[in-house]
């Protein structure tokens, strides 16, 4: 990892699949990023990053944990509608892009785009949204053997989604608004 890659994050904390990058701005969470093993741990640089790191650790210890973090206001009105619908999906369940689209009177592809634009994965659990014929993409990545889909599989297994409960982790280097 280069120094400049690490500098954009307020903290980098270990996760079962690699790391989570935490970026904060003015005492708000600005972004969470799934990071592979080439990154290394970085201590939180502010209280919001520290609070976020503790809550991420709590989630990995107990996937029923509910995040309570100050989030930076980002996204469009449409993205907020999608993110609110996704936030209502309980742990242990998945919904399809088509199901979410019907709930908000939209199209599955538009829902997928809003999922990919999610600045707060884990907090807004886009990993709980799948394609009708399988896993689908994740974080704007759809390579079936790639890092991000490995993370999605891991999170669904952690949350004990029945159809993913046998998936082994890939070893790789209330409404919010």
Query: Among 20, 32, 126, 158, which one carries the catalytic annotation?
Result: 126
Dist CA 82 CA 100 (whole Å): 7
Cβ burial of 62 (10 Å; 0-12, 13-18, 19+) is: exposed
33: three-class secondary structure by DSSP: strand
**Active site includes 48?**
no
Q: Can you tell me whether residue 14 is helix, strand or coil?
A: strand
Residues 6+ away with beta carbon under 8 Å from 164: 153, 156, 157
Sheet architecture: strand order including 11-15: 11-15, 18-25, 28-35
> Element (H or E) spanning 147, and its range?
helix 147-158
- Which whole-number Å values give the CA distances from 10 to 3, 7, 21, 51, 140, in the listed order? 13, 8, 8, 11, 23
Other Cβ atoms closer than 10 A to 174: 6
Catalytic residues: 126
């Amino acid at each position: 990892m280069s120094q400049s890659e690490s500098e954009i994050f307020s903290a980098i904390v270990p996760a079962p699949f690699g790391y989570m990058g935490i970026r904060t701005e003015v005492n708000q969470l600005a972004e969470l990023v799934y990071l592979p093993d080439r990154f290394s741990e970085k201590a939180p640089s502010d209280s919001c990053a520290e609070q976020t790191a503790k809550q991420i650790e709590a989630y990995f210890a107990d996937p029923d944990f509910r995040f309570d973090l100050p989030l930076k206001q980002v996204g469009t009105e449409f993205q907020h509608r999608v993110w609110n619908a996704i936030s209502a999906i309980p742990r242990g369940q998945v919904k399809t892009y088509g199901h979410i689209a019907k709930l908000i009177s939209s199209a599955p592809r538009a829902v997928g785009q809003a999922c990919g634009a999610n600045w707060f994965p884990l907090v807004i659990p886009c990993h709980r949204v799948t394609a009708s014929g399988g896993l689908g993409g994740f974080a704007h990545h759809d390579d079936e053997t790639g890092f991000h889909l490995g993370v999605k599989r891991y999170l669904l297994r952690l949350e004990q989604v029945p159809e993913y409960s046998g998936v082994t982790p890939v070893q790789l280097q209330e409404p919010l608004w």
